[in-house]
Amino acid sequence: MDLQSKHKVDSSFSMSSMTDIIFLLLIFFMLTSSFITPSGLPVNLPTSKSSKIMLQKVTVTITEDLKYFVNDRPINKRDLENALRKELDGQEGNVSLHIDKNVPSGFLVELAGIATSLNAKVSVATKPN
């Protein structure tokens, strides 16, 4: 009498579904990490109670010794408006201001005025309290 089962259990494991999940997680983390673009310049930002993370198109930095940077590239103060115009490319965009807390507020107002005249939304970067 032959008592062998007709239904054999396959002991192999398919890794394709696990690979799909890992790939989707990798894509998710790659996309979400690109929204935060911290400035690599040493600027001591002021603190605030509320801090929002925004997608930054253009970053303008003023260091404590009053050096200007547009997207981490050094620039003269007189060329600032042309550099912003070039970066914004005639479109509305977000300009994030990374200004050292020891810089006088007149520089902030002047820079915000230039960005606003180019139809850009201005946000001031701060570090959370």
Which tens digits make up the pLDDT trace of 72-81?
Answer: 899 998 998 8
Task: With beta carbons less than 8 A apart as the criterion, state whether 70 and 58 touch.
Answer: yes
What count of other Cβ atoms lies within 10 Å of the Cβ of residue 17? 9
Walk me through the domains of the chain, giving residue ranges and CATH numbers.
47-128 (3.30.420)
DSSP 8-state assignment for residue 30 = H
Task: With beta carbons less than 8 A apart as the criterion, state whether 28 and 108 touch.
Answer: no
pLDDT of 52 reads 58
CA 35, CA 47: separation in Å to the nearest integer? 21
Q: What is the mean pLDDT of residues 108-113?
A: 89
Secondary structure (3-state) at 9: coil
pLDDT of 122 reads 86
CA 108, CA 129: separation in Å to the nearest integer? 21
pLDDT of 68 reads 92
CA 75, CA 50: separation in Å to the nearest integer? 30
